[in-house]
Amino acid sequence: MDTFQQILIYITLAMAVGYLVWKFILPKSLVRGKKQASKACGQDRCGCD
Amino acid sequence: MSKNINVALIGNPNTGKTSVFNALTGLKQKVGNYPGITVEKKMGVCKLPNGVKANILDLPGTYSLNTTSLDESVVVEVLLNKNDKSYPDVAVVVCDVENLKRNLLLFTQIKDLKIPAILVINMADRMSRKGISLDVAALEEKLDTKIALVSTRKNNGVPRIKELIADYASLSADPNVDTSRISPEYFSRLQKAFPNEDLYKLWLVITQDVNFTDIEKKRIEDATSFSTKSKTELKKLQHKETVLRYQFINNTLKETYKVDLQTAKGLRASLDKILTHKIFGYVIFFAILLLIFQAIFDWSTYPMDFIDEQFAIASEWLKNTLPPGVFTDLLAEGILAGIGGVVIFIPQIAFLFLFISLLEESGYMSRVVFLMDRLMRPFGLSGKSVVPLISGTACAIPAVMATRTIENWKERLITILVTPFTTCSARLPVYLILIALVIPEGRFLGLSYQALTLMLLYLIGFGMALFSAMVLNKILKIKSRSLFMAEMPTYRLPLLKNVGYTVLEKTKSFVFGAGKIILAISIVLWFLGSNGISDDFKNAESIVTQRIEEQGLTPYSKNYIQNNLDGYSEEGKQDSIRIMTPILKERARAQEIAGYKLEHSYIGYAGKAIEPVVKPLGYDWKIGIAVLTSFAAREVFVGTLATIYSVGSDEEETIKNRMAAELDASGKKPLFNLASGISLMLFYAFAMQCMSTLAIVKRETNTWKWPLLQLLFMSVFAYLVALTAFQILN
């Protein structure tokens, strides 16, 4: 039973770490596919600089 | 099988465009009546009566196709680019029945782009009250379109919109106004130079200040056969275009739209006089704020206590029901404690958004925006900055996006940089638990100290945003300012359905958005707190037992036993004291072992490593770990502490009680005392503890320079303020 619980712990831990890496470390372009940056600039080059 | 059709939902701000979108698609997007709610295009699907599916694209509100800001340019970009996959087969232009004249300017421009357009006249339920009469058939004929008279509040007319969309092929795509009349000679040259392009489309590309990716303004400017005009000349022609359009609109409405002014005058003017008064307006606004914070504390106490107890009971139940082992410990001490740290704040978050939603729905929030505009001017911000700053009380991420309505880049940048100072809902759990721990429960003029402290923290956040804006204004040297234009929507009774949706959506996004991160961090923290490689960790039980035999229990344990026995002494139950003493001693021993293990676990070593940095602020290594992990998101702070204090604990105790029982290094006074509590609250008031906000600032400014500067400034400032506060109060 102890070994089984240990295995469950490591699976849960791997899932948690995986989620955090996916959420905060992996670049979004890798996760969701490369998205072209908007080139629309407003007055005073708003949003372009 | 027929293909999906694209429908663009367009309209002026405050016309109920988002309500129409929600009614058509069933999506529960936030409905608000101040500009900036829709700053990006949003897509939903609607099934039409003929079985065809329509992709409904909700575009940001704009007064015309002559754009001045980034969010407005989204609209023009979609309408001009036929190759764009979002290019509409039909445009649904939403108008407000009370402001039809102004709203029709945009409609005529869209018609002139030769896009089939349906006119949706919203808020029709107010027509009789406002003395408005409308000849729909005549208006349809004059505007060469089909009209749906709807009231999204009363849920009337939506099927008619669906029917008209389904029948879009029968709509006329003829223009309303002959645009070549703006300047016949210029337009003739333009058409000769680009014979295959649509004339009005070319005109819009030439006059826009935005560089559309696929329209190639440069191609027009580079054309040798055509010389464009100077900016001033183009502006003059734009004005001429507007005059021409209003001539057409006036002629159209003269025979079709009547307003009985006697009926139209009402309570609104009198209410506006008071609510936007330069003294009473602020007094009323602050009174409302006080009421909100008082309610957050007083009303939510009961459900919060209930939730806290239920989680403590559930944790105990899990331990007693599941087979003993490390995974059971993880469920009871890690996962459940972490989730409990989020769920407990649902009542307070729900109350906050209930009030905000009521203010928005009633039309009062627009008056607040107007009121605050006066306050913002001296700080170098425009009135449009108020919307992001007020939205920031919910979350900095949509608030930073809402800055797209600000035309001036430097003004927009300042607003982006200062918005994270406003107190977002993620700070609320941190403040609430700390206020409950360190601020006494007394009252001043009927208002609790705790509610006043919370309000003060909101004002500090807002004040800091203004102060930073003033400093940035001086550093960045803003020369020009954008004008502030805000509509005052009619006062209306909040619709319970809309208020309910907002409360539900906001609470859901708090629980599920932050909850997943908190849960993952809780699991990692529990693992790091329950494991270690040193001999001290492995032999914790024998080391602590030997120490107790030689030196006795720690002052904290003695205090714990005494507190528990005090209750029995008062009741004179000597037998109970005799039975409970060894049990409590055993519990205290187990707690000391758990504490020793935690101190020598992985997380213990990490915490000890950062302790020298946080100690001057009055924090121990456990709080240091919570501050560190809450860099992902502020609300993680409480979940982290709940997990750390639960590791190895067999006690059925609430989060608040566990935190209240913690003693500082001297073992004489609570760890969470007035000095350390205030220091922590000030730290969270000023620190940029939110990775998502940094990411969105990077996206909005297209560089890492500004978010990194923001992070550095906010963190250093927060540290210094927290340090000063602790050193003074201690």
Measured distance CA(B187)–CA(B182) in Å, rounded:
8
Distance from CA of A25 to the nearest CA of B (A): 11
**256-285 of B, contacting A, C-beta below 8 A:** none
The amino acid occupying position A23 is K
CA angle B305–B588–B586, rounded 5-degree value: 115
Q: What's the pLDDT band for B456 if we cut at 50, 70, 90?
A: very high
Predicted pLDDT of residue B703: 80
* pLDDT over 90 (residue B682): yes
Residue among A12, A32, A48 with most chain B CBs within 10 A, to mutate? A12
DSSP-assigned beta bridge partners for residue B7? B56, B90
* pLDDT over 70 (residue B434): yes
Measured distance CA(B480)–CA(B411) in Å, rounded:
9
The interface predicted TM-score (ipTM) is: 0.73
- For B52, the token pair is 């065809």
Q: What's the pLDDT band for B35 if we cut at 50, 70, 90?
A: very low
Q: What's the pLDDT band for A27 if we cut at 50, 70, 90?
A: low
Rounded to the nearest 10°, the torsion over CA B42, B47, B49, B54 is 50
CA angle A11–A13–A19, rounded 5-degree value: 105
The amino acid occupying position B701 is T
**Residue B554 CB contacts under 8 Å (≥ 6 apart), including other chains:** B592, B667
Contacts of A3 in chain B (CB under 8 A): none
Q: Which of A2, A27, A49 is nearest to B323 (CA)?
A: A2
8 Å CB contact of B404 and A47: yes
Closest-CA residue in chain B for A46?
B409
- For B459, the token pair is 């004002």
Token look-up 């599920």 returns: B512
**676-695 of B, contacting A, C-beta below 8 A:** 691
Contacts of A15 in chain B (CB under 8 A): 520, 523
8 Å CB contact of A49 and B70: no
* pLDDT over 90 (residue B216): no
Q: What's the pLDDT band for B666 if we cut at 50, 70, 90?
A: low
Q: Where are the alpha helices (DSSP H) in B323-363?
A: 326-329, 336-343, 346-362
Distance from CA of B406 to the nearest CA of A (A): 9
8 Å CB contact of B523 and A44: no
- For B593, the token pair is 């072992």
- For B82, the token pair is 């036929």
Mean predicted confidence (pLDDT) in B168-189: 86
- Give residue-wise pLDDT tens across range B567-606: 776 666 777 788 888 888 888 888 788 778 888 888 888 8
Measured distance CA(B363)–CA(B360) in Å, rounded:
5
- Is-contact B100 B217, C-beta < 8 A? no
Cα B89 to the center of its chain, rounded Å? 33
Of residues B305 and A30, more confidently modeled: B305
Mean pLDDT lowest for which of B19-28, B257-266, B311-320? B257-266
Contacts of B409 in chain A (CB under 8 A): 42-47, 49
Q: Which of A3, A16, A26 is nearest to B523 (CA)?
A: A16
Q: Which of B73, B328, B527 sits opposite A13 (nearest CB)?
A: B527
- Is-contact B596 B544, C-beta < 8 A? yes
The amino acid occupying position B86 is S
Cα B457 to the center of its chain, rounded Å? 18
Measured distance CA(B307)–CA(B310) in Å, rounded:
5
Q: Is the dihedral of CA B649, B650, B656, B661 positive or negative?
A: negative
- Give residue-wise pLDDT tens across range B129-145: 778 888 999 999 999 99
- Is-contact B294 B447, C-beta < 8 A? yes
* pLDDT over 60 (residue B1): no
8 Å CB contact of B211 and A6: no
* pLDDT over 50 (residue B684): yes
Predicted pLDDT of residue B583: 86
* pLDDT over 50 (residue B33): no
Predicted pLDDT of residue B34: 42
DSSP-assigned beta bridge partners for residue B110? none
- Is-contact B704 A49, C-beta < 8 A? no
Q: Which of B410, B523, B703 sits opposite A13 (nearest CB)?
A: B523
- Give residue-wise pLDDT tens across range B227-272: 666 777 888 888 888 889 999 999 999 889 888 766 655 677 788 8
Of residues B441 and A30, more confidently modeled: B441
Predicted pLDDT of residue A10: 92
Measured distance CA(B314)–CA(B104) in Å, rounded:
60
Query: Cβ of B328 under 8 Å from any chain A Cβ?
Result: yes
State the number of CA atoms in the 13 A half-sphere of B138 facing the CB. 11
Q: What's the pLDDT band for B486 if we cut at 50, 70, 90?
A: low
Predicted pLDDT of residue B145: 92
Residue among B71, B75, B210, B322 with most chain A CBs within 10 A, to mutate? B210
End-to-end CA distance of chain A: 59
**3-42 of A, contacting B, C-beta below 8 A:** 4-6, 8-9, 12-13, 15-17, 19-20, 23-24, 37-42
Distance from CA of A7 to the nearest CA of B (A): 9
Q: Which of B70, B517, B520 sits opposite A40 (nearest CB)?
A: B70
Residue among A7, A28, A43, A48 with most chain B CBs within 10 A, to mutate? A43
Predicted pLDDT of residue B718: 94
Predicted pLDDT of residue B521: 79
Of residues B49 and B398, more confidently modeled: B49
Q: Which of A19, A40, A49 sits opposite B77 (nearest CB)?
A: A40
Q: What's the pLDDT band for A43 if we cut at 50, 70, 90?
A: very low
Query: Cβ of B62 under 8 Å from any chain A Cβ?
Result: no
Measured distance CA(B38)–CA(B504) in Å, rounded:
19
Measured distance CA(B368)–CA(B462) in Å, rounded:
14
Mean predicted confidence (pLDDT) in B368-372: 81
* pLDDT over 90 (residue B377): no
SS3 B588: helix
8 Å CB contact of B524 and A43: no
8 Å CB contact of B523 and A5: no
Phi, psi of B357 (to 5 degrees): -65, -40
Query: Cβ of B524 under 8 Å from any chain A Cβ?
Result: yes
Rounded to the nearest 10°, the torsion over CA B207, B208, B214, B218 is 60
Measured distance CA(B81)–CA(B201) in Å, rounded:
9
Q: Which of B427, B408, B418, B354 is nearest to B386 (CA)?
A: B418
**Residue B539 CB contacts under 8 Å (≥ 6 apart), including other chains:** none
Q: What's the pLDDT band for B359 if we cut at 50, 70, 90?
A: confident
Token look-up 């890690």 returns: B334
Predicted pLDDT of residue B179: 82
* pLDDT over 70 (residue B625): yes
Q: Which of B681, B708, B685 is nearest to B697 (CA)?
A: B708
Measured distance CA(B199)–CA(B36) in Å, rounded:
31
Q: Is the dihedral of CA B330, B332, B337, B340 positive or negative?
A: positive
Question: Distances from the Cα of B87 to the Cαs of B7, B46, B125, B545, in angstroms?
Answer: 8, 17, 32, 75
Question: Distances from the Cα of B196 to the Cαs of B190, B191, B192, B199, B222, in angstroms?
Answer: 11, 8, 9, 9, 17
Predicted pLDDT of residue B32: 45
The conformational region for residue B325 under phi > 0 = left, psi -120 to 50 = alpha, else beta, is left
Q: Which of A1, A24, A49 sits opposite B632 (nearest CB)?
A: A24
Summary mean pLDDT of chain B: 81
Contacts of A8 in chain B (CB under 8 A): 327
Closest-CA residue in chain B for A47?
B701
* CB pairs < 8 Å spanning A and B: 97
Predicted pLDDT of residue B405: 67
Structural domains of chain B sorted by starting position, each given as residue range(s) with its CATH number in brackets: 5-170 (3.40.50.300), 179-264 (no CATH), 280-429+441-476 (no CATH), 533-600 (no CATH)
Helix axes B346-362, B427-438, angle to 10 degrees: 120
Helix axes B199-207, B184-193, angle to 10 degrees: 100
* pLDDT over 90 (residue B720): yes
* pLDDT over 50 (residue A34): no
SS3 B634: coil
Distance from CA of A32 to the nearest CA of B (A): 15
Query: Cβ of B384 under 8 Å from any chain A Cβ?
Result: no
* Beta strands, E only, B166-309: 257-259
8 Å CB contact of B69 and A2: no
Mean predicted confidence (pLDDT) in B665-691: 85
